[in-house]
Amino acid sequence: MTEKETILITGGAGFIGSHVVRRFVKSEKYIIVNLDKLTYAGNLENLRDIEDNPNYKFVKGDICDFAFIKELFSKYDFKGVIHLAAESHVDRSISNPMEFIQTNVVGTVGLLNAAKDSWANIGDRRFYHVSTDEVYGSLGETGFFTETTPYDPQSPYSASKASSDHFVRAYGNTYGLPFVISNCSNNYGPNHFPEKLIPLMIHNIKNGKPLPVYGKGENVRDWLYVEDHARAIELIFEKGKNGDTYNIGGFNEWKNIDLVHLLCDVMDDKLGNSQGTSRKLITYVKDRAGHDLRYAIDATKLQQELGWEPSLQFKEGLEKTIDWYLANEKWLQDVTSGDYLKYYDEHYANR
Ligand code: NAD
Ligand code: DAU
């Protein structure tokens, strides 16, 4: 039997990271070390079902703590890193850009340094950087982002992610660090913090609260179910070409207002309301500063080279997502009240 490789996943307690960690742990092919600071967006309840799995280890820590990261790399012989830890919310980046530079840029460079310095036989390792389509800027009414679209980030969040992408490529070019990058469109699904559009709307509809639509609601996003993203990450990590970039998207564009209408109608059905009840909660509010008009990913390369396709129809994915939020009221309460850290204290502090 071949020995299982040990992989470091950063940000594994967050939204996308939790689905990636679960997928890799359940594959039985790897030992997964999940490094997460447990900011407001990281919740170990997301990984309750695998916390006792022998292929899984959680480490609480900050990617910006370089001494700690160095120690971690000497403790484990990581064959690869899948880097998801980040500050991820555009609105927060507008009110507090420095935190985004610190985690997304400085933290990423710290990890790159640790990998470069620790990996004796650098050739058979891989640093996988998980990034966003927002690095490409904003599209007009037509066209798609491809892997060769020039970078043109427009918000402090996307500028910090673009900068981290550049550092990853620079480490590949300068030090020969084997890397791969993916840039994905908007994800949705379980474990999504209710500050982002879809979970916020579900939460507010359920509680009869106003549904804040920025500007005229005409901005367009391309939505992908989070488990389809996790499946793409596994495929790219295992089969992607070193030094390459892969775009990941849902081929699924929605104007925000149309999406909010759909959510209202599906929720009315599920809550037993008469149709039209939830739409009355829609409130147009001041637009996000510098709000990107449209994102749309051309994921042809991933489709053709690695055979990936989104597996879920949007309506089906939304139903699954809504059902999950309706069944997980305690999760919502914990993350919105800050009580999620109790879970760490009760389940992990003495491990
Ligand atoms: P998230 O905010 O839900 O989770 C981020 C995780 O990183 C949290 O668990 C948090 O505790 C952890 N973290 C933050 N700062 C840290 C630090 N200094 N040290 C260690 N851990 C830290 O984010 P997400 O939506 O799951 O996004 C994950 C990654 O995917 C990010 O890099 C993001 O840019 C990228 N991405 C997200 C989307 C999306 O639609 N959500 C789309 C494309 C790419
Ligand atoms: O495209 C990938 C990106 O998608 C990721 O890199 C980011 O981490 C992720 O947060 C997401 O960014 P967005 O800014 O597109 O997501 P958000 O859910 O914040 O907003 C989606 C759209 O909905 C956007 O046009 C702004 C609008 N919006 C958002 C909120 C929170 C509203 O109209 N009202 C709201 O209350």
Give me the pLDDT at residue 4, please: 95
Tokens standing for residue 302: 């991933």
Q: Residue 79: what are its φ and ψ, rounded to 5°?
A: -85, -20
Instruction: Give ∠ CA 265-269-272 in degrees, rounded to 5.
Output: 130
Rounded Cα distance, 257 and 218, in Å: 6
Q: What is the pLDDT of residues 249-273, one digit of tens each?
A: 999 999 999 999 999 999 999 999 9
CA distance readout (Å), 153 to 60, 90, 148, 156, 277: 31, 12, 14, 8, 38
The single residue listed with the structure tokens 């999940």 is: 34
Q: Exactly one of 30, 136, 157, 225 is catalytic; which is it? A: 157
Q: Which ligand is nearest to the CA of 91?
A: 2
Give me the pLDDT at residue 51, please: 96
Give me the pLDDT at residue 123, please: 77
Tokens standing for residue 125: 């390792």
How far, in Å, is the centroid of ligand 2 from the Cα of 197?
Answer: 6
Average pLDDT over residues 105-121: 94
- Mark whether 147 is an active-site residue: no
Mean pLDDT value across the chain:
96
Q: Which residues pair with 33 in a beta bridge?
A: 8, 57
Ligand 2 atom showing the smallest separation from residue 161 Cα: 6
Q: DSSP E strands: which ranges in 282-330?
A: 282-285
Average pLDDT over residues 89-109: 98
Give me the pLDDT at residue 1, please: 57
- Confidence label for 47 from pLDDT (cuts 50, 70 and 90): very high
Architecture of the domain defined by 5-192+224-252+291-312:
3-Layer(aba) Sandwich (3.40)
Rounded Cα distance, 221 and 232, in Å: 19
Residue 121 has pLDDT above 90, yes or no: no
Residue 222 three-state SS? strand
CA distance readout (Å), 83 to 9, 110, 115, 220, 230: 6, 12, 12, 27, 13
- Mark whether 214 is an active-site residue: no
Cβ neighbors of 301 (< 8 A, separation 6 or more) are: 146, 147, 246, 247
- At 124, which amino acid appears? D
How far, in Å, is the centroid of ligand 2 from the Cα of 59?
Answer: 29
10 Å CB burial of residue 257 (0-12, 13-18, 19+) is: middle
Residue 339 has pLDDT above 90, yes or no: no
At what angle are helices 197-206 and 314-327 packed, to 10 degrees? Answer: 50
- Mark whether 65 is an active-site residue: no
